[in-house]
Structure formats: structure tokens, C-alpha cells
Structure 1
Amino acid sequence: MKILRAALLLLLGSASLAHAAPARVVGLGGPVTEIVYALGAGDRLVGADASSIYPPAAQQLPKVGYYRSFSIEGVASLKPDLVLASDQSGPPQALEQLRKLGSPVVLLPSDPSLEALDQRIMGVARALEIEARGAALVRRIHAELKALPANGSKPRVLLVSSHTGKLQGAGGDTAAAAMLQLIGATNVLASQQGYKPLSAEAAVALRPDVIVTSTLSVESSGSVEAFLAQPGLGATPAAKGRRVVVMEDLLLLGFGPRLPEALRQLQAGIAAKAGGAR
């Protein structure tokens, strides 16, 4: 009987190990990594890509390059039992190579929409075997979104990025456009698709009430003053009136679990600055 009991315990122990939840996880894509932390599973992360800048703990993780061109060797050296990746991670052959090396890879949708956000959260939660936490996070986000105040006006907003050293305006089919739409603001570049270089003439003709940009874009210029003095912005009334809203990059454009907070900050910032345009 003792031998039978011992054999049974050994069998159960082996089954438990075979189905153990992933314990060594690498995140590819800032929003993906942020979701892991939001689900209370940050202690499972052993590495992340360079865009994983929030929360502060993510900045302390070993980095494996940028998620669109990550280092296969860097990821493999961390011996992950799961790689959670934005569907924009790559190149595709790099992801396939990780699979061949024995690392399961779960791709998550990157679209800037509420539906895709729900899918990202639940995809991460399922992969980590904490679906109940994922469902709870989704419910909380939707409840907070419903509580956002309605926007009575439709300020004209120009959202620009220059962290690469080149000034670019955000048109349709971008996270920036989706954010402006959710708060009821008017994207002055709505007729444009994606990010495109912004000329001084075009910026002046757009007549934005407010300029929105990210922290890294301002830091690349050295200061808010230097950022607003760029040829593509300096001649606009918004720049002359210092009507600019600056937000943390991942908060502004990540479409992650802090979406309600991002929309509250964006809405309040634009409303405060737009009031000075009248």
C-alpha cells in the first residue's frame, strides 16, 4: 500500500510539473509587458524589449532589443518558457526561430481599439493561466471608460512625434487618432493615413488649437521651447501660445491597461489648453 501511495504521489507530482504555469516570461512590446504587470504577474518576467518602459520595474529587466527587430540570442539566453509578443514583433523568421529553439510564442493583437485591448489582456491572462484576473481587469477598464465625462467641444488637435529627429504628424489608422476620437477631439490630420513628415506650411494651414506630443519627443529636442520652435510647429498659433500637452509615450500611444487614465489626462490637458485659444 505504501509503495502504491508513493507511486501515486509521484505520478501526481509529475502531472503538476507538466502543467505548471509559465514562470520565465519575456515581453516583446511595451503594452504587452505592461499588461503582465497589471495582472500582478510581473515577477514572472525575466526580460523585455526596449519599448517596455512602464512600470518602472520594467526598466530594470534585461533588454533584448526593440520588439520589431529583437535579438534572438538575447531572448534565448534568458531561457523563457513563454514569449508574449505584439503581432508587430519580428521579423517573422525570428519568432519562428524562437519556436524552433523551444520557446512557446504567443502573438497578441496590436490594433488601437477597445476590442483589441480586451483581446490583448485576455490573451496574456490565458497564456499565464490567470484568466480570472484578466476578466476582472477588462471589467474595470470598461467601467472606468463609461465614467469618463462627455466632451462638450471638439478642439482641433495636432498630434506630432519627433523622437526620431524628424517631425511627423499622426493621421488616421494610428493609436493617436484613436485616442483623439475616444475623447471627442478633432484630429486636424484625419484625412491623412499613418505618420507622415509635417512641413511648416502644412502645420500653419492646419490651425490646431492644441498640439499634443510625447515625453520622448520633447526630450529629443531638449526642451518644450525647442520642440515648439521647430519649423513645422513654430509658426502655428498653438505653438506661439504654448498650447501643448505632453504625455508619457506609452501612456499616450500604448493603448494598454492604463487607457482610462490616459484618456482622462489627454482630455483634461486639451481642455485646459484649448480654453486659452478662445
Structure 2
Amino acid sequence: MVTLAAPARRIVVLVPHAVETLYAIGAAAQIVAVVEYSDHPPAARQLPRVGSYSGISLEAILRLRPELVVAWRDGGHPRELARLRALGIPLYISAPQNVADIAREMRALGRLSGQQRGAAQQAARFEQQFASLRQRYASARPVATFVQVGDTPLFSVSRLSFVDSLVRLCGGRNVFADAAVPAPQVSVEAVLARRPQLILAFEERQLAYWQRWPQLPAVALGNLSLLAEDSISRPGPRLADGARQLCRQIDAARQRLPAG
């Protein structure tokens, strides 16, 4: 656990979803730099950039004299982060795997930024939204679901990904939940063998690709659905909106399943 002697007044954020969280809890004025793709809320687009997914500038970060750096567990840059740690700069590593983790992260960032009240309110609202969805779909008929997150090569998600927790929340059954890593590389043959009844993807062309296998249940049923990328792929405050949309998509697919 990261501890600070006083709330961080200068925060560098190396992951877009944490930017959204800090804005939501009332810590926007304490953010001094972000990375590319930190585009929500719109005001975040005006913040200085210190890198992107492909690399970060250690020199630029150090010039800003941060009192806290927020990074992503799976975001790369291990050498730069190790250097920051060696220099004594506090690091908070974001690694949410489910809805409960995201709410905990809101509270943790509230503690580190001195915005405990805003964080507590945001986390409670977030948890209540998900509790309502969980209650609504608790007894829903399972829908075998394949979530595609890339196509060159083909990737999906496992139970170690927060996206899997959303699929399960909505009554879906992730066909690659048993994979050993959060984002497993899979083959077309493996997808065909697991016979998903619903395919979810972030691009229309990815969905169109599966039309060449009309024997696949998802294709035969017409259950090919486009995901709302930012609200479903970023584990932050907007995830509740994305989850509601995902539940509607899974429920629509459920209605097309054959009786039995």
C-alpha cells in the first residue's frame, strides 16, 4: 500500500482511466501531466503529455516534481517505473480485475489525493449501480460469450480481466474465462470449438469476419454485437454506463436463444 505524509498536490497519471477517476472524485486540479489517450473528461485533453502507450519521458516527469505517479500494472515501462521508485517518488500501481477493485481504487486515490469525501461518494454510487445490475440479472439464462479484443493476432479476455466480471454480471458465460492470463491469445479453431452464442468486439470489421462460419451459434443466431470501447474498456467511473449497455446487448442475445 502506498502511504504519503500529506495528500499529493502534484500527480502524474500514466493511465487514462485513472485520469477519469481523479476528475470524478474532485482531484482534477492536482493532476500535472497525463499520457496520450487521456481524453475524458474533455478538460483532460488540455493537460501536458509525458508519453503514450509506447513510451514515457522520465525527464519530463521529473521536471514536474510529482508527489505521486499513478501507473498501470499492464502498461509497460518497467525500467522507467523502477527508476522513479529508486528516486523515492511514490508510485500507485492500478490493477483492477473486477468491480470491487475499481471501487477500492477510487477510495485509495481519494486517500492519496486528500479527496476522501468525493471518492467515498463516487465509489458508493458506483457500487450501487452495479448492485442494481447484479440483482436484475442474477437468475438470467447464461449466454456463452466470446469477447474479441484484437485480431492480429486474435485476443480475448479471461476471468483475470475486469471485462470478464462485467460479462458475468450480465449473465454471460465467458468462453475463455479459464485462460491463465488476463488477455489470452486464442485461435480461430479454439473459438469455433467453444461455440459462443454471442460475439462481442470493438470494431465492425472484426464482427464481419465471423460471418464466414455460419455454423457458429453466434452467427446463426445473429448475435454479433459492437462494444462501446471507452466505457467498457476503461476501469473507471464510466464503466457503469458501459455495463448497462453490455447487459442490454447480452439480454438481446439471450432473447434469440432457442428454447430449452
Q: Equivalents in 1 of 2:222, 2:15: separation in Å?
A: 32
Q: Is the 8 A contact 2:70 2:93 kept in 1?
A: yes
Change (3 A) 1:240 1:59: farther
2:186 matched residue in structure 1: 198
2:32 matched residue in structure 1: 46
Q: Equivalents in 2 of 1:170, 1:87: separation in Å?
A: 16
Counterpart secondary structure, 1:123: helix
Number of aligned positions between the proteins: 248
Q: Is the 8 A contact 2:195 2:217 kept in 1?
A: yes
Write the deviation string for residues 75-105 of structure 1: whole angstroms up to 9, x where unpaired.
2344434322234455444224335667x33
Q: Equivalents in 2 of 1:22, 1:246: separation in Å?
A: 39
TM-score when normalising by structure 1 = 0.76
Identify which range, 146-155 or 30-39, moves more after superposition. Answer: 146-155
Q: Equivalents in 2 of 1:234, 1:62: separation in Å?
A: 46
Task: Indicate whether 1:228 and 2:207 are aligned.
Answer: yes
1:245 matched residue in structure 2: 225
Task: Indicate whether 1:118 and 2:67 are aligned.
Answer: no
**Pairing of 1:89-104 with structure 2 (within 5 A):** 89=75, 91-99=77-85, 104=89
Identical-pair percentage: 26
Aligned-residue RMSD, C-alpha: 2.8
Change (3 A) 1:186 1:81: same
2:255 matched residue in structure 1: 275
1:193 alignment partner AA: A
1:105 matched residue in structure 2: 90
Any unmatched runs of 5+ in structure 1? 1-18, 219-223
Q: Equivalents in 2 of 1:20, 1:169: separation in Å?
A: 41
Change (3 A) 1:203 1:87: closer
Q: Is the 8 A contact 1:238 1:277 kept in 2?
A: no
Q: Equivalents in 1 of 2:58, 2:221: separation in Å?
A: 47
Q: Equivalents in 1 of 2:208, 2:242: separation in Å?
A: 26
Write the deviation string for residues 231-265 of structure 1: whole angstroms up to 9, x where unpaired.
x6741342465523323334213222233222211
Q: Is the 8 A contact 2:32 2:47 kept in 1?
A: yes
Q: Is the 8 A contact 1:82 1:106 kept in 2?
A: yes
The partner residue of 2:69 within 61, 69, 83 is 83
1:185 matched residue in structure 2: 172
Write the deviation string for residues 185-229 of structure 1: whole angstroms up to 9, x where unpaired.
111122323333333322222221211123xxx1xxxxx1x2223
TM-score when normalising by structure 2 = 0.80
Q: Is the 8 A contact 2:34 2:49 kept in 1?
A: yes
Counterpart secondary structure, 2:256: helix
Counterpart secondary structure, 2:71: strand
Identify which range, 70-79 or 127-136, moves more after superposition. Answer: 70-79
Write the deviation string for residues 92-123 of structure 1: whole angstroms up to 9, x where unpaired.
44224335667x33314413123422331122
1:258 matched residue in structure 2: 238
Write the deviation string for residues 16-60 of structure 1: whole angstroms up to 9, x where unpaired.
xxx985443211222211110111222332321235343333344
Rg comparison, structure with higher value: 1
Change (3 A) 1:74 1:238: farther
Any unmatched runs of 5+ in structure 2? none
CA drift of 1:269 comes to 1.3
